[in-house]
Amino acid sequence: MTDSGTAGRPDGEVEGGLDEPDALQPDQGSLALADPEHDDHDRTAWEAAAAAVLRKARRLGEDDEDALVWETLTRRTLDGIAVPPLGTPEHLDDPATEGRPTRRGDWDIRSFTDAEAVAEDPAAAHEQLVLDLEGGVSSLWLQAAPGTDWATLLEGVMLDLAPVVLDAPAGEALATARSFLDHAGATTLAPGTQLGARPDDDDLVEVARLAADAGVLGVVADGTVVHDRGASDVQELGWLLAAGIRALRTLEAAGLAPAQAAPLVELRVAVSDEQLPSVAKLRALRRLWTRVLEASDAAGAPVRVHAVTSRPMMSRYDPHVNMLRTTVAAFAAGVGGAEAVTVLPFDAPLGRPEAFGRRIARNTSALLISESHVARVTDPAGGAYAVERLTDDLAVAAWAELGRIEADGADRDPAFEDRLAAVVSERDRQVATRKRALTGLSEFPSLDLEQPERAPWAAWDEVRPWGAAYEAMRDDPPTGRVFLATLGPVAAHTARATFATNLLAAGGVRVDAAGPTQGPDDLVAAYDGQAVVCLAGADGTYAEWGEAAASALRDAGASRVVVAGRPADWADDSAALGVDALAFLDRVRGALS
């Protein structure tokens, strides 16, 4: 952003930016599906219709104004940025930034191979890389190990066609780059080849000079480092910008002007299954880095973004759901304009991914590109009111975060760590209350799914999964079971019985259900001595014989009575929507032990 608050437009961008609103408005004469006789719906009509639904769901009172639907349905990101339920033209009023993705055509499908695989068995790693390339991968992201056997690892790989992106061990960036270039010899390396120095590497300048001489990229500013530790989107963007700026400053001090250094830099960022925020995140990153380049006298330098599907969003339990998560994330990366996308295998949280996981990972991008044709349109989200607003808000907030990091003097300053810790705490709270649902883990878990087994994999050791607390419970399930005291016929108790069963399963707790009942005697007849019982029924049934049921089950031996629904004087505990699930499960598990 300039001093006036407006970021410059990337070079080569499609005409018609946010400062040209007419370019974003549809040709009203081309809306063939519009029906003039019935096209009389306006904002108030939508508010009335939405309010009616919210009142049925008891999220609005009968006396509440319809206009409250906006506040009720608007959700906020971990950075406090509003995501409205509906995009409207006023969301494009007075944007502070501008710019659009400039990628033309397919994105680079980039596979990931870890250092363990490279070091332990270069021949097996080579077979894996060849399989990836034959399966549609267009570049290779390699975590090199000291003394990497490039001849074995890259045997037959056409380095003039397939870019290799290096990820060197700490302190080994220069040695790794030199050994790789020695292996390449006189080969003209493919565009996109990356020697992989980090902004804080002692050998940054030397690696950058090697890259410049070889005509390849040389520096990676990697925001996934803080994303994996729990950073929010804004924090990751701010941290990433600060890292990139440090690299430019270091190189400039060594005599490499920003106009020469900037084309050597690649930005790596995480994308999650939160689709719209991820699309906006990539669009905002391009605007922000473009502004950095302008301020550095490097305007017009290419902006290259490598998007990686989020590690912490994935789960070890019900791991096939990870396929859905990574598909959404890869779609967001493609729509957001990433030049390269790495989809991590769905089985990665379990250990070293196997061939099936890697095949699904590379095919995710291949299908999005070749079957869904997502890459055919440059910036397909451009002009969408909600996405444009979210992009602008993210960019403004990330620029402010960059300012805080710069003022603190370091990205690992205690002030940044405190901000990161606050976000982690808020995410944990939302996960605990299931406001931030994790399918297959905190929502709709299955205790009977067979877990795939994978070999240990150190590449995941530093990742803090968002669902770590639930995973810990599932790792150590209690031996006791909860008696699910279902009150009344199936139609009367099924909703709350299902809710309670899923909630308890999220903590690794199994239930024994009573089935249809007509009174306390039926419950006692089905009861088998479980320490904890959970009553599940309709409010009317609770009022009619819930207390008697609780009393009868206590007399039969139950030590703790829980009710699914609102708290009751005759119950020891309760669980309803919005409950702190982790705290509730801790109490239940404690009573079962």
- On whether both 146 and 254 belong to a single domain, the answer is yes
Q: What b/e sequence results for 419-431 when a residue is b if at least 16 CB atoms lie within 10 Å of its CB, and e otherwise?
A: bbeebbebbbeeb
The CATH number of the domain holding residue 565 is: 3.40.50.280
In-domain check, residue 172: yes
Q: From start to end of 81-183, where are the E strands?
A: 82-83, 108-113, 139-143, 164-167
Distances (CA, A) of 151 to 163, 174, 179: 16, 18, 10
Which residue type sits at 138?
Answer: S
Lookup result for tokens 């302190």: 171
Closest CA to 284 of 115, 412, 117, 400: 400
How many helices and strands (H and E) does the chain possess? 21, 15
The verdict on pTM exceeding 0.85 is yes
Shared domain for 284 and 245, answered yes or no, is: yes
Q: 428 with 231: CB under 8 angstroms?
A: no
In a domain, 570, yes or no: yes
| Same domain for 332 and 226 | yes
Q: Are 278 and 332 in contact (CB under 8 A)?
A: yes
Among 377, 402, 427, residue at a domain's last position: 402
CA 404 – CA 397 distance, rounded (Å):
11
Contacts of 316 (CB under 8 A, 6+ apart): 349, 350, 451, 465, 471
3-state secondary structure 28-40: HHHCCCCCCCCCC
Residues 201 and 263 in one domain: yes
Considering the domain architecture, whether residues 127 and 71 belong to the same structural domain is answered as: no
pLDDT in tens, the chain (593 residues): 333 333 333 333 333 332 333 333 333 333 333 445 555 678 899 999 999 999 998 899 999 999 999 999 999 999 999 999 988 888 888 899 999 888 889 999 999 999 999 999 999 999 999 999 999 999 999 999 889 999 999 999 999 999 999 999 889 999 999 999 999 999 999 999 999 999 999 999 999 999 999 999 999 999 999 999 999 999 999 999 999 999 999 999 999 999 999 999 999 999 999 999 999 999 999 999 999 999 999 999 999 999 999 999 999 999 999 999 999 999 999 999 999 999 999 999 999 999 999 999 999 999 999 999 999 999 999 999 999 999 999 999 999 999 999 988 755 678 999 999 999 999 999 999 999 999 999 999 999 998 899 988 888 888 989 999 999 999 999 999 999 999 999 999 999 999 999 999 999 999 999 999 999 999 999 999 999 999 999 999 999 999 999 999 999 999 999 999 999 999 999 999 999 999 999 999 999 98
> Are 232 and 376 members of one domain?
yes
Which residues lie below 8 Å from residue 377, measured CB to CB, with a gap of 6+? none
Q: For residue 460, what are its two tokens?
A: 């995941």
Q: Hey, how many other C-beta atoms are within 10 angstroms of the C-beta on 152?
A: 14
Residue 500 lies in a domain: yes
The C-alpha atoms of residue 152 and residue 136 are separated, in whole angstroms, by: 21
Instruction: Tell whether 330 and 389 lie within a shared domain.
Output: yes
74 close to 84: Cβ distance less than 8 angstroms: yes
Q: Which of 220, 261, 237 is nearest to 336 (CA)?
A: 237
Residues spanned by the domain of 41:
21-86
Tally the residues of the chain.
593
Residues 256 and 130 reside in one and the same domain = yes
